[in-house]
Amino acid sequence: MRVIVVGSGIVGASAAYHLATAGAEVVVVDRSDQGQATAAGAGILFPWVMPGAPPATAALGKAAVEHYPRLIDELVAAGVDDPGYARVGSVLVTEDRAALDVVHAGLVEISRQPGMSGLGEIELLAPGEPAARFPPLRPDLAGVWAEGTGRVDGRVFRDALEWVATQRGARRRPGSAALLIDGSRVTGAIVDDETISADAVVVAAGAWSSLLCEPVGMTVPVFPQRGQIVHLALPGRDTGAWPVVQTLSDHYLLAFPGGRVVAGATRESDSGFDFRVTAKGLRRVLGDALSVAPGLSEGTVAEVRVGFRPFSPDGIPTIGGSDRVSGLVVATGLGPIGLTLGPYVGAAAADLALGRTVHLDLEPYRPDRPDTTPAVS
Ligand SMILES: Cc1cc2nc3c(=O)[nH]c(=O)nc-3n(C[C@H](O)[C@H](O)[C@H](O)COP(=O)(O)OP(=O)(O)OC[C@H]3O[C@@H](n4cnc5c(N)ncnc54)[C@H](O)[C@@H]3O)c2cc1C
């Protein structure tokens, strides 16, 4: 069976890995667009789904969190030295002590639910303790510690999945894909001037997925949300074990080995595919970072990354095909938590393409689900 995977971000790479592992003939097509979300993503892996997330996202989150460690073990067994993952914990910081108590109680409650032991230890930290773990932080801040939070380098993890897929026979075809349709069946893809036939096509084209599916009459509820994110260099600092820092806003910090600290990120839903670093975006990200971590002020701005999160208006990912167009599986819409959900969603897409059962009710994620977007008044 031949399957084309369009897109080699985290979702496509995972689909290719699972398809090749199952023995399918796989062709991965990728256009290397500027703004691939996987290449820009911060890399925070919370082992819980935020309260208030739609129930469908929460169910997917639980499946994804269980899938991650299994996949990491598989990659290591397949010969990957370092898949780019580490369990570093996280600390939520704020000046609002009452809010800390609420967050602490909420996380303790979640950690007691069945299957949530991955959260590890949850602890209230006195003022100064967060800064002992993440030294650039203000020393007056107290916090809530969650031991189970992970960190992943999305580029490294994506490349690891692709490398193993390639070892198992997957072929990479750089280029821009258009879907090939015969009647009501997708029969392959046209990549630049090459026609590639296939038994199934997985669309894992991130924020571009709706553009790809539109010509075959399929509407995919996804649009680009720009994220600008800053990488700071702190030469000589041993940052490898520093935890993720959360705040009560969208703002966060995390660190990678080699003196690299990442400050994120803007959420710009009206950006379209405008791949630019803006003065307003940079001011926002750096201003937020320095307000909680003034110790970063002497860091060097090493890089600013821009990525387009594949956002769905109702906040629910899209996984599945269409009754009107057969041979097509769409997997996208993971928004701000795609590095967390992506490996599992890619696996589910692979199963659908192969005609296998997926052990999660995929009804809520159908591309043609009823529009549940909250009305704006
Ligand atoms: C700033 C930022 C911070 C983030 N932080 C986190 C985080 O901390 N934790 C977390 O879990 N998630 C995070 N995310 C979200 C996460 O990065 C994304 O949800 C996820 O990477 C989406 O992956 P994807 O494979 O669906 O799409 P993408 O990674 O965007 O990949 C899509 C690919 O499809 C290709 N493509 C599109 N159309 C075509 C075509 N016609 N032909 C060929 N190729 C095509 C593109 O070139 C691209 O390479 C963040 C995102 C951003 C932008």
- pLDDT digit string (tens) for 309-330? 999 999 999 999 988 899 999 9
Q: What class has domain 2-72+154-221+313-365?
A: alpha beta
Q: Do domains 2-72+154-221+313-365 and 223-311 have the same CATH topology?
A: no
CB 304 within 8 A of CB 229: yes
Both tokens of 68, joined, read 């991650």
Distance in angstroms (rounded) separating the CA atoms of residues 313 and 231 = 29
Distance 310 CA to ligand 1 centre (A): 7
Q: What is the pLDDT of residue 373?
A: 61
Which residue's alpha carbon is nearest to atom 51 within ligand 1? Answer: 41
Distance 10 CA to ligand 1 centre (A): 7
Burial 265-293 (b: 16+ CB within 10 A, else e): bbbbeebeeeeeebeebeebbbebbbebb
Ligand 1, CB within 6 Å, residue ranges: 6-12, 29-33, 36-38, 40-44, 154, 176-177, 204-208, 212, 227, 229, 264-265, 307, 309-310, 332, 334-340, 342
Whether the predicted pLDDT of 377 surpasses 70: no
Give the pLDDT mean for 205-226. 96
Distance 333 CA to ligand 1 centre (A): 9
Distance in angstroms (rounded) separating the CA atoms of residues 205 and 36 = 9
Give the pLDDT mean for 2-8. 98
Distance 206 CA to ligand 1 centre (A): 5
Distance 113 CA to ligand 1 centre (A): 31
Whether the predicted pLDDT of 113 surpasses 90: no
What number does the ligand 1 atom closest to the CA of 226 have? 53
Distance 267 CA to ligand 1 centre (A): 14
β-pair type (300-311, 223-233): antiparallel
What are the residues whose beta carbons fall under 8 Å from the beta carbon of 276, sequence distance 6 or more?
A: 306
Per-residue pLDDT tens digits for 354-370: 999 998 999 999 998 88
Instruction: Give, in order, the Cα–Cα distances in Å from 63 to each of 32, 47, 158.
Output: 29, 11, 19
Give the pLDDT mean for 281-304. 97
- Domain residue spans in the chain? 2-72+154-221+313-365, 90-148, 223-311
- Provide the percentage of residues in the chain whose pLDDT is more than 70: 98
Distance 280 CA to ligand 1 centre (A): 23
What number does the ligand 1 atom closest to the CA of 266 have? 1
Q: What is the pLDDT of residue 371?
A: 72
Per-residue pLDDT tens digits for 124-150: 999 999 999 999 999 999 999 999 999
Burial 334-344 (b: 16+ CB within 10 A, else e): bbbbbbbbbbb
Whether the predicted pLDDT of 7 surpasses 50: yes
Q: What is the pLDDT of residue 376?
A: 47
- Of the chain, the end-to-end C-alpha distance in Å amounts to 49
Which residue's alpha carbon is nearest to atom 21 within ligand 1? Answer: 38
The yes/no answer on whether domain 223-311 falls in CATH 3.30.9.10 is yes
Name the residue with higher pLDDT: 102 or 118: 102
Q: Which pTM does this prediction carry?
A: 0.97
Placement of tokens 């159908």 in the chain: 366
- Cα–Cα nearest to 102, from 87, 80, 124: 124
Give the pLDDT mean for 110-125. 87
Q: Report DSSP state, residue 52.
A: T
